Amino acid sequence: MNTEEATTSNAPHIVKEEVIAAGKWVTLEKTTYIDPAGTTRIWETTKRTTRQANTEADGVGIIALLKRTLHKDCVVMVKQFRPPLGCCTLEFPAGLIDEGESAEITALRELKEETGFKGEVVGVTPVTCLDPGLSNCTTQIVLVNINGDEAENINPTQQLGNAEFVEVVLLPLDEFQTKIDDLLKKEKILVDAKVYIFGMGMAQAFFKPKELPVLKQ
Ligand SMILES: Nc1nc(=O)[nH]c2c1ncn2[C@H]1C[C@H](O)[C@@H](COP(=O)(O)OP(=O)(O)O)O1
């Protein structure tokens, strides 16, 4: 057996997927798979029922930067009650990809619906996973700039459905992490992991690049 064959035969893979329970929005499945040691195992998996045929992403998250004359640049965030957690969360605006949509189109539509802002796409990630030990849920993060000086972005109006209750929260980019820490102290909310990691990354990138290396112990 050559190296390539050995690698292929040892590759972990799925044998079968059986639906245990199916709801309108999610399924619970029993996933039978072969692990890297060749052992057959079972995993409990959740999946969304809404993934469209033309995409491997379930939805998008939107990092929207609001740029206005004489204002600090702000990240447009949303706060809403999330039933699975039983509390409010601070998240990037987000939503599921509808039939025939690209990630970019979904991002601009969801941003308009949830926040009222009209944006312009400036970047998009590959398909990324969200909670791989639990679910096959995937997302693409779309970076959007908003010209806050444009007439339609001065008093933005949300376009929410009757079961949607979304509060828009503007956080200055240069104090993103500390403002989130303040909110967490004040209110009983949970912050989305993507959001907090973005804040940590921003803080590292922008506020510590000039620190001199110190002796490591
Ligand atoms: N897991 C879900 N359970 C539900 O009972 N309803 C759900 C689930 N996931 C989505 N939805 C509903 C709620 C909204 O009416 C639509 C669209 O949600 P969308 O705005 O695209 O996405 P989120 O912002 O992440 O809720 O789906």
In the chain, domain spans:
14-48, 59-206
Position 66 scores a pLDDT of 98
Whether residue 213 is predicted with pLDDT greater than 90 in this model: the reply is no
Q: How many CB atoms lie within 10 A of CB 192?
A: 18
3-state class percentages of the chain: helix first, strand second, coil last, to nearest 5 = 25, 35, 40
Q: What letter does residue 212 receive in the DSSP assignment?
A: P
Residue whose CA is at the smallest distance from ligand 1 atom 5: 25
Percent of the chain predicted with pLDDT > 70 = 93
Residue whose CA is at the smallest distance from ligand 1 atom 22: 95
pLDDT (tens digit per residue) in 74-94:
999 999 999 999 999 999 999
Whether residue 171 is predicted with pLDDT greater than 50 in this model: the reply is yes
Q: What would the mean pLDDT of 155-181 be, rounded to a whole number?
A: 97
The model carries a pTM of 0.92
pLDDT band for 151, please (50, 70, 90 cuts).
very high
Superfamily of domain 59-206: Nucleoside Triphosphate Pyrophosphohydrolase (3.90.79.10)
From ligand 1's centre to the CA of 207, what distance in Å?
A: 37
Position 20 scores a pLDDT of 98
From ligand 1's centre to the CA of 210, what distance in Å?
A: 43
Instruction: State the average pLDDT for the chain.
Output: 94
Q: Are 66 and 117 in contact (CB under 8 A)?
A: yes
Instruction: Indicate if ligand 1 lies below 6 Å from the C-beta of 62.
Output: no
Instruction: Indicate if ligand 1 lies below 6 Å from the C-beta of 25.
Output: yes
Whether the complex's predicted ipTM surpasses the cut of 0.90? yes
In the block, which residue shows the tokens 């999610």?
26
pLDDT band for 217, please (50, 70, 90 cuts).
low
Range 137-168 burial, b when 16+ CB lie within 10 A, else e: bbbbbbebbbebeeeebeebeeeeeeeeebee
Who's near 39: CB < 8 A, 6+ residues apart? none
pLDDT (tens digit per residue) in 3-56:
444 445 689 999 999 999 999 999 999 999 999 999 999 999 999 999 999 899
